[in-house]
């Protein structure tokens, strides 16, 4: 009888051990499956976008990622999120190759949203900026230009005369999500302008300075010449002489959608507010978006007696020619024309 009871106890003991063994094996298997789902690369081989709305729960994000084919299993993502205890950020994400779930998680936790780079070069007009935005697939040209009168409110405190943001879309390289609005785009560029203008100490006469700087920017690409060009314009303004600057005439034609790609003699007689041959003083506003060198030149033109110049952009010799008298300027123009003829250009 005693030996029988002992055998019964051993059977019970083996049953408990077996149960624990089964639990252990199940746990090992579950861990293996979870590890496989988490660490084994998975995902699309072609460009795939996932747009995570603000306020999305981890469960919703995981479901989105699985439905888009970015991760293998949404529950594995939930598990990794629970382990990492990180905060996931809203936005549009781009995936184009298989990767471990851990990398997908880190990309979203760091907020590495997909953006498109747009470069605004020095001297670009609002029309050129609109073209670049459309080419980048961020905003249509028509929408960005159509909203300019409303967007001018962004600089109303520093330039109450501004009718558009021309002059205040600061030249730089920007990165925007694909669904960025025209307001958000403009605000980013204006913020950059405000930062730079504050660093330069531009606080007064902002409208005049930016307008003058835009003329300087479009007249010469040579940085050392910009202060001299600014001085010519200042001297002519002081003497109530028309500025007679072609870039301003061209801009007036662009505003009216009459620009033909080249300036003709007849264009100089077209009466637009920006025709500085027909109207004395500065044009109504900036004709481009100037960079730092041109802003500096417009803020502090050097004292000179120059009243005329032949712009570097039109001179085959590659530099502007400055003069104090009409007679000297006429000689420079004749020399420029000879150089043009010698270069085989009309």
Please name every residue paired with 175 in a beta bridge, in sequence order, or none if there are none.
Answer: 117
- Contact indicator for 167, 290 with CB cutoff of 8 Å: yes
Q: Which tokens go with 235?
A: 């001297």
- Contact indicator for 48, 98 with CB cutoff of 8 Å: no
Check residue 159 and give left, alpha or beta (phi > 0: left; psi -120 to 50: alpha). Answer: beta
- Contact indicator for 122, 217 with CB cutoff of 8 Å: yes
For residues 271 and 257, give the distance between their C-alpha atoms in angstroms, rounded to a whole number.
14
The pLDDT score that the predictor gives to residue 16 is 73
- Go through the domains of the chain in sequence order and give each one's CATH number: 48-109 (3.30.1490.480), 116-200 (3.30.1490), 218-342 (no CATH)
Torsional sign, CA 209, 215, 221, 227: negative
End-to-end CA distance of the chain: 125
Buried b (16+ CB within 10 A) or exposed e, 114-126: bbeebebebbbbb
Q: Is 250 helix (H, G, I), strand (E, B) or coil?
A: helix
Q: How far is CA 200 from CA 55, 222, 255, 342, in A?
A: 40, 20, 30, 43
To the question of pTM greater than 0.85 for the whole model, the response is: no
Q: pLDDT truncated to tens, each residue of the chain (346 aa)?
A: 444 454 545 545 457 776 665 655 555 555 555 667 787 898 898 999 999 999 999 999 999 999 999 999 999 999 999 998 889 999 999 999 999 999 999 999 999 999 999 999 999 999 999 999 999 999 999 999 999 999 999 999 999 999 999 999 999 999 999 889 999 999 999 999 999 999 999 999 999 999 999 999 999 989 999 999 999 999 999 999 999 999 999 999 999 999 998 999 999 999 999 999 999 999 999 999 999 999 999 999 999 999 999 876 544 456 889 999 999 999 888 887 777 777 665 5
Buried b (16+ CB within 10 A) or exposed e, 213-237: bbbbbbbbebeebbbbbbbbbbbbb
């Amino acid at each position: 009888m005693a030996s029988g009871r002992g055998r019964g106890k051993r059977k019970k003991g083996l049953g408990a051990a077996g149960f624990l063994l089964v639990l252990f094996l199940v746990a090992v298997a579950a861990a293996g499956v979870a590890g496989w789902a988490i660490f084994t690369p998975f995902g699309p081989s072609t460009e795939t976008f996932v747009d995570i709305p603000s306020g999305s729960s981890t469960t919703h994000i995981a479901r989105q990622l699985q439905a888009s084919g970015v991760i293998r299993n949404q529950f594995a993502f939930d598990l990794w999120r629970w382990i990492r205890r990180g905060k996931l950020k809203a936005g549009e994400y781009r995936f184009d190759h298989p990767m471990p779930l851990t990398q997908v998680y880190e990309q979203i936790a760091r907020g590495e949203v997909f953006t498109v780079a747009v470069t605004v070069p020095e001297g670009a007009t609002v029309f050129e900026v609109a073209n670049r935005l459309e080419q980048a697939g961020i905003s249509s040209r028509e929408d960005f230009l159509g909203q300019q009168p409303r967007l001018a409110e962004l600089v109303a405190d520093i330039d109450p005369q501004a009718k558009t943001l021309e002059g205040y879309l600061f030249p730089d390289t920007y990165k925007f999500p694909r669904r960025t609005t025209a307001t958000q785009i403009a605000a980013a560029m204006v913020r950059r302008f405000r930062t730079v203008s504050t660093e330069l100490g531009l606080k007064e006469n902002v409208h005049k300075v930016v307008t003058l700087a835009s003329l300087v920017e479009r007249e010469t690409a040579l940085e050392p010449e910009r202060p001299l060009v600014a001085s010519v314009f200042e001297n002519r303004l002081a003497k109530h002489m028309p500025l007679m600057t072609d870039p301003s005439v061209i801009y007036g034609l662009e505003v009216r959608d009459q620009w033909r790609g080249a300036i003709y003699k007849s264009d100089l007689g077209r009466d637009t507010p920006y025709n500085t041959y027909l109207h004395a003083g500065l044009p109504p506003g900036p004709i481009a978006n100037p960079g730092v060198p041109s802003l500096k030149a417009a803020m502090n033109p050097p004292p000179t007696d120059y009243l005329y110049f032949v712009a570097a952009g039109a001179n085959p010799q590659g530099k502007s020619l400055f003069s104090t008298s009409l007679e000297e300027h006429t000689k420079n123009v004749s020399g420029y024309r000879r150089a043009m003829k010698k270069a085989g250009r009309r």
